[in-house]
Amino acid sequence: MKKYSADKIDWFLTEEGLKGVVEQFSHPENNKRHYEVYNYQGGKIFIKSFLERGFTGRIRHYFAPRGKTEFLIGSKLASFDILTPKVFGYGIGKNHSCVAEEYIEGQSLLDAMKKTTERRNILTGLAGLLRELQLKGVRHNDLHLDNVLIHGDRLYLIDLHKTKIKKDFNDADEVSNFTHALGIIYDDILESDRNFLFAQYHCGPAMRRKIEQEIARLKKNWIINKKKRAFKNTSMLRASGDYVYMKGAEAKANGEFIAFLKKDKKVRVERFSDHIRKTYQKQGRLKMAWENHVVLAYLKSAAAPQAFFVKLPILSSNGYIAMEDLGDRGVELDRFLDGKYDNMDLSERKRFTEGFARFLQTLFRQRITHRDMKGCNIFALHDGGFVFLDVEDFVFQEIGEEALTRMLTQLNTTVPKRISSRDRMRFFLKLTVSLNIDKKRLFKNIVSESKKSDIVYEGVGGLKREQW
């Protein structure tokens, strides 16, 4: 390698022709991570810089600059025949370092997974990559699927500065690679896809249990961290005085008051010309609702109305959340069924019940549940979709038999009695088909619990009470 200095950076390059490229590279002093792409000999060069801050960053920069580390790891992995972008050199400055490498024209594995439901080829490739890392003792330490690129039918590993090559690769290393890779997608893929991936990897039951337990732990910690930062400036939020805005919604929800929709001991709900305002009597429920809105926003889930901002309580003034108004897009589930069910033919009923089951299945896969699944807390949209209301009652955890019994009993006793047994059973079977649960026992418990109370729901003409 040859040393070359340019703009306060000492570059160490494998090819002299790269001098003209690195001379063009800018490294903004305030950017924690900076990227630029250049044409080079019929291809492209990708340069990435790392800015170090604070005492820990300075120590790391002195002993192991991240740009140099990524260059060395990339060179080593290439010698193992693990596909990574070819590395051409690295640069070291006063408080930042850089790496120059081949630019791969591809898409991330995460994007590829999102764009197709035919995932078997992708999962086969991912299983092969994970197996290769395990066999060659490579622990990536940041193996989320944005750090794996697909180019043609080949997978390239990128972002290598945290990677460790280990002589003694143990179960913890294997679990780390697997959980980082699966953490983002695991709740979104079908159980059949999960089974296929583990089979392709030749993963035994004991290792699978370890991996799934670690995924659950990481997901729980992720949600806790998002909630902790729900009232601070983040990539998603902007805090300003007594307000915290979803970024991009700062100018929304300024309309005029139109009407009161609901008022009780817990909340006051009002309609404005361009939003719904929900004022909470207790600060704890306001905090819980906003935290849940933030988690749903990070998950990119449309399970609830979109929130615009939260107004924090001050002295005698209660806090409120401003959110989108769904009023002209649908109606509460109990009122929808009371007004529409009798006029629906068999195919319409089947489409409706199966659509509602799929909606809940999607939430369950994402570890999203609701503690108060009454018919009045579910909004049936005219386009066939569904949305939950009362966001403070969302819970982010895997669904269990006890919680599912409670949820389905609530639903069963808050929709009209005349919903046929056939439609109720179709919904139940569709919902539980992929759940690892004793379905006969679950069904028996729901029937038993439902018979302990009357049916109470809000119909077209007002509150209705019926007996089984």
Nearest to 21 by CA among 114, 131, 102, 104: 102
- Residue 283: count other Cβ atoms within 10 Å of its Cβ: 12
C-alpha to C-alpha distance for 233 and 170, rounded to whole angstroms: 39
C-alpha to C-alpha distance for 133 and 148, rounded to whole angstroms: 13
Indicate the pLDDT class of residue 409, thresholds 50, 70 and 90.
Answer: very high
Residue 315's region, left for phi above 0, alpha for psi from -120 to 50, else beta, is left
Q: Are 137 and 77 in contact (CB under 8 A)?
A: no
Alpha-carbon distances of 221 from 13, 246, 288, 399, rounded to whole Å: 41, 22, 17, 17
Retrieve residue 282's tokens.
């207790």
The pLDDT assigned to 186 comes to 87
Mean pLDDT of the region 207-221: 92
Mean pLDDT of the region 133-141: 96
Residue 42's region, left for phi above 0, alpha for psi from -120 to 50, else beta, is left
C-alpha to C-alpha distance for 43 and 238, rounded to whole angstroms: 40
Mean pLDDT of the region 121-148: 95
Indicate the pLDDT class of residue 29, thresholds 50, 70 and 90.
Answer: low
Percent of the chain with pLDDT over 90: 82
Strand 275-280 relative to strand 320-323, pairing: antiparallel
β partners of residue 332: 379
Q: Which residue has the higher pLDDT, 186 or 346?
A: 346
Mean pLDDT of the region 325-343: 95
C-alpha to C-alpha distance for 86 and 103, rounded to whole angstroms: 8
Summarize pLDDT for 68-91 with one digit per residue, the tens.
Answer: 999 999 999 999 999 999 999 999
Please state, rounded to an integer, the average pLDDT across all residues of the chain: 93
Summarize pLDDT for 276-326 with one digit per residue, the tens.
Answer: 999 999 999 999 999 999 999 999 899 999 999 999 998 878 999 999 999
The pLDDT assigned to 196 comes to 95
Mean pLDDT of the region 4-30: 87
Give the predicted TM-score (pTM) of the model.
0.80
> Which residue carries 């009470």 as its tokens?
465
Q: Are 91 and 73 in contact (CB under 8 A)?
A: no
Set out the domains of the chain in order of their start, with CATH numbers. 2-102 (3.30.200), 109-157+175-228 (no CATH), 237-325 (3.30.200), 329-466 (1.10.510.10)
| pLDDT for 215 beyond 80 | yes
Nearest to 367 by CA among 401, 394, 399, 400: 399
The pLDDT assigned to 26 comes to 82
The pLDDT assigned to 153 comes to 86
Query: Strand locations in 328-392, DSSP E?
Result: 330-332, 369-370, 378-381, 386-388
The pLDDT assigned to 338 comes to 97
> Which residue carries 């386009």 as its tokens?
383
Indicate the pLDDT class of residue 28, thresholds 50, 70 and 90.
Answer: low
The pLDDT assigned to 54 comes to 87
Retrieve residue 281's tokens.
């009597």
Residue 350's region, left for phi above 0, alpha for psi from -120 to 50, else beta, is alpha
Indicate the pLDDT class of residue 32, thresholds 50, 70 and 90.
Answer: confident
Q: How many helices (H) and strands (E) does the chain have?
A: 14, 25
Mean pLDDT of the region 10-17: 94
